[in-house]
C-alpha cells in the first residue's frame, strides 16, 4: 500500500511540474558540448574563447554575455569533442540516454549492493531515485555529476569482484567530477583499490596532459579551478558550509573558519570511525558519501546525488533508530529546498515528491518497526512551511535574470565573467532564508552520515554483489 501510494504521489508530481523555462536543453551540458566544439576548433575551452562555440547553441541568447564556463578535467575533452561532432539536438539525445542508464545503475545498483532484492524492492528504489531532487535536477540539467556518481557505484561492484582493471576504468570515469570521486579514496587501504586508483590517477594525468598539449598546462588548469571556486564564493548557487555561513551574516574569513572547522571535524570523525575496523570497504564508502558535502569547498545541489547510495544501503540494512534517522535524513536530502524560493508553483510538486520519497522508504523499511516506518512523512509539513517562508524571498534564475544588454568587460577572465553574471542576476546578495534552505540539505547529510555510521557496522552482513 505504501509503495502504491508513493507511485501515485510521484505521478502527481510529474503531472504538476512547473512549465519548463525557455532556453537551452540540458543547460549544464551546454558547457561540456561547447568545450568539445572549442577543442575541435582549436580554441581554448578554459578561456573566453569558449563563448565562440557556446553562443551558437540553440537557446543561448547570443546578443549578451551569458557565458557558462567549463571547468571539467582536461581528460574529458576528447569525449566532449566527440559529442560536439553531432548537432546539439542529437548530442543531447545521446547524452540523455547515457544519463538514463546512469539513473538505473545508481538506483538498482545501490539496491543490489545492499543485498538480495526482488521486483518490489527494485520498484521502491526506482521511486526513491525519481523523487530524489539532486538526481532528478542533475538529469534535467544534463549534469556529469550523475555519471560520476553512477561510476562510483560501479567501482564498488568492481572491487567486490576483485577486478582491479574494471575498478580503474570506473574510477577514471567518476573523476569526470573530481569533487565526488574523492569519496572513493576511503577504499585505498585495500590492495586492489590502491592498484586500481593508482592506475586511474596515472591515466587521468596522462590523458589530461595529452589533451592540453603539455604537462605544464596542468598547473594552469589547477589555477583555473582555484579561481573558479573563488568566483562562486558567497553565491546562492553554492551549497557548502562556507556559503551558508556567509548568507547567515559571517564575514568571508569567518565563513572560511566555520567551513574549515566543520570539514576537519568531519574528516577526523571518519578517520576515528574507520580506525575501529568495524566497517568494511562498502560501508566506509557509504558513510563517506553521506558526509562528503560537509567537507567540500565547492558543491551544487546535484553533487548531493552521491547520498542516494548510503540512503538506499541504510534503507535495506539498518534497523531501529538508525533506520528511522537515515530514512528521515534521506527524505530531507530528496527535497530541492532552494528550488522552493525559485517558483511558488514548485511547492505543490515538491510536496508530492517528498511524500513519494517518504512512502517509498517506508515500503523498504523493516516490518518490525510498524508505523514508525512512516517517520519520513514528517518532512512533508516542513516542506510546506519552508515553501511558505520562501515565497517572499524569490531566488533569481541565471541566465533569465541577466539584463538584456549585459556585457562583461573584455579584460575579465572566464571565472570573473561568470561571477559578474551571477552578481548581475542577483545571486550574490546575502539572504538568510536562502541560507536556511541550503542548510537543510547539509543537515540531512550530517544526520545520514551519523545514522549510517551507527547502523551499518552492526547490521547483519549480506552478499554485496
Residues above pLDDT 70, as percent of the chain: 97
**What is the pLDDT, as a whole number, of residue 20?**
65
How far apart, in whole angstroms, are the C-alpha atoms of residue 393 and residue 326?
A: 30
| Mean pLDDT computed over every residue of the chain | 92
**What is the pLDDT, as a whole number, of residue 213?**
78
pLDDT at 336 over 60: yes
Residue pLDDT, tens place only, 246-255 = 888 888 899 9
Q: Is residue 426 part of a domain?
A: yes
The mean pLDDT value for 415-421 works out to: 95
Residue pLDDT, tens place only, 24-39 = 889 999 999 999 999 9
What's 106's DSSP letter?
I
pLDDT at 383 over 60: yes
**What is the pLDDT, as a whole number, of residue 15?**
86
Residues above pLDDT 90, as percent of the chain: 80
Q: Which of 376, 374, 365 is nearest to 320 (CA)?
A: 365
- Exposure pattern of 372-390 as b/e (b: 16+ CB <10 Å)? ebbbbbebbeebeebbeeb
> Roughly how many angstroms between the first and final C-alpha of the chain, as a whole number?
29
DSSP string, 400-444: TTS-TT----TT--HHHHHHHHHHHHT-SS--HHHHHHHHHHHHH
Q: Is residue 317 part of a domain?
A: yes
Q: Is residue 64 part of a domain?
A: yes
Q: Is residue 451 part of a domain?
A: yes
Residue 254's Cβ-count burial label (10 Å; 0-12, 13-18, 19+) is middle
Q: Give the residue carrying C-alpha cell 535495506.
A: 316
Is omega for the bond preceding 399 within 30 degrees of 0, making it cis? yes
Q: Is residue 160 part of a domain?
A: yes
pLDDT at 143 over 60: yes
What's 17's DSSP letter?
P
Q: Is residue 197 part of a domain?
A: yes
pLDDT at 454 over 60: yes
Residue pLDDT, tens place only, 387-402 = 999 999 999 999 999 9
Residue 209: how many CA atoms within 13 Å on its side-chain side? 8
- Comparing 14-18, 125-129, 314-318, the range with the smallest average pLDDT is 14-18
Q: Is residue 13 part of a domain?
A: no
pLDDT at 108 over 80: yes
**What is the pLDDT, as a whole number, of residue 247?**
85
The mean pLDDT value for 450-455 works out to: 94
3-state class (DSSP) for residue 41: coil
- Comparing 120-124, 269-273, 305-309, the range with the smallest average pLDDT is 269-273
Residue pLDDT, tens place only, 44-64 = 999 999 999 999 999 999 999
Q: Is residue 20 part of a domain?
A: no
The backbone region for 284, taken as left when phi is positive above 0, alpha when psi lies in -120 to 50, beta otherwise, is alpha
Q: Which of 188, 259, 273 is nearest to 450 (CA)?
A: 273
The mean pLDDT value for 276-300 works out to: 93
Could you tell me the residue range of the domain that residue 417 belongs to?
A: 25-455
pLDDT at 8 over 80: yes
C-alpha cell at 59: 537557446
The whole model's pTM is what? Answer: 0.94
The total number of structural domains that make up the chain:
1
Amino acid at each position: 500500500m505504501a509503495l502504491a501510494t508513493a507511485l501515485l504521489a510521484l505521478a502527481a508530481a510529474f503531472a504538476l511540474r512547473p512549465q519548463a523555462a525557455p532556453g537551452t536543453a540540458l543547460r549544464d551540458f551546454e558547457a561540456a558540448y561547447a568545450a568539445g566544439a572549442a577543442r575541435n576548433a582549436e580554441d581554448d575551452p578554459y578561456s573566453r574563447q569558449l563563448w565562440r562555440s557556446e553562443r551558437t547553441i540553440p537557446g543561448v541568447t547570443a546578443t549578451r554575455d551569458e557565458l557558462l564556463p567549463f571547468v571539467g578535467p582536461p581528460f574529458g575533452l576528447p569525449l566532449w569533442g566527440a559529442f560536439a561532432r553531432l548537432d546539439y539536438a542529437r548530442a543531447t539525445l545521446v547524452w540523455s540516454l547515457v544519463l538514463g542508464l546512469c539513473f538505473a545503475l545508481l538506483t538498482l545498483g545501490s539496491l543490489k549492493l545492499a543485498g538480495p532484492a526482488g521486483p518490489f524492492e527494485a520498484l521502491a528504489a526506482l521511486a526513491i531515485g525519481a523523487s530524489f531532487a539532486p538526481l532528478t535536477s542533475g538529469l534535467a540539467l544534463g549534469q556529469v555529476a550523475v555519471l560520476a556518481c553512477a561510476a562510483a557505484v560501479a567501482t564498488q561492484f568492481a572491487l567486490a569482484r576483485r577486478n582491479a582493471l574494471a575498478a580503474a576504468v570506473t574510477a577514471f570515469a567518476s573523476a569526470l567530477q573530481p569533487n565526488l570521486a574523492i569519496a572513493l579514496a576511503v577504499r585505498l587501504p585495500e590492495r586492489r583499490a590502491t592498484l586500481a586508483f593508482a592506475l586511474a590517477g596515472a591515466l587521468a594525468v596522462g590523458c589530461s596532459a595529452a589533451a592540453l598539449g603539455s604537462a605544464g598546462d596542468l598547473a594552469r588548469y589547477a589555477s583555473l579551478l582555484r579561481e573558479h571556486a573563488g568566483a562562486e564564493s558567497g553565491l546562492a548557487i553554492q551549497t557548502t558550509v562556507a556559503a551558508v555561513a556567509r548568507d547567515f551574516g559571517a564575514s568571508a574569513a569567518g565563513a572560511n573558519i566555520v567551513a574549515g572547522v566543520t570539514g576537519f571535524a568531519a574528516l577526523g570523525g571518519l578517520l576515528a570511525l574507520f580506525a575501529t575496523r568495524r566497517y568494511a570497504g562498502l560501508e566506509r564508502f557509504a558513510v563517506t558519501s553521506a558526509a562528503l558535502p560537509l567537507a567540500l569547498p565547492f558543491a551544487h545541489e546535484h553533487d548531493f546525488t552521491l547520498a542516494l547510495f548510503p540512503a538506499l544501503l541504510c534503507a535495506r540494512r539498518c534497523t531501529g533508530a538508525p533506520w528511522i534517522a537515515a530514512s528521515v535524513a534521506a527524505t530531507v536530502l530528496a527535497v530541492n529546498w532552494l528550488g522552493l524560493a525559485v517558483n511558488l508553483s514548485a511547492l505543490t510538486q515538491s510536496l508530492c515528491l517528498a511524500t513519494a520519497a517518504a512512502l517509498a522508504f517506508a515500503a523498504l523499511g523493516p516490518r518490525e518497526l510498524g508505523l514508525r516506518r512512516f517517520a519520513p512523512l514528517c518532512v512533508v509539513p516542513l516542506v510546506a512551511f519552508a515553501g511558505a517562508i520562501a515565497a517572499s524571498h524569490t531566488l533569481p534564475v541565471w541566465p533569465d535574470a541577466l539584463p538584456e544588454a549585459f556585457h562583461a568587460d573584455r579584460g575579465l577572465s572566464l571565472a570573473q565573467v561568470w561571477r559578474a553574471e551571477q552578481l548581475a542576476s542577483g545571486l550574490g546578495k546575502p539572504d538568510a532564508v536562502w541560507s536556511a534552505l541550503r542548510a537543510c540539505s547539509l543537515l540531512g547529510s550530517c544526520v545520514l552520515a551519523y545514522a549510517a555510521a551507527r547502523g551499518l557496522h552492526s547490521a547483519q552482513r549480506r552478499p554485496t554483489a
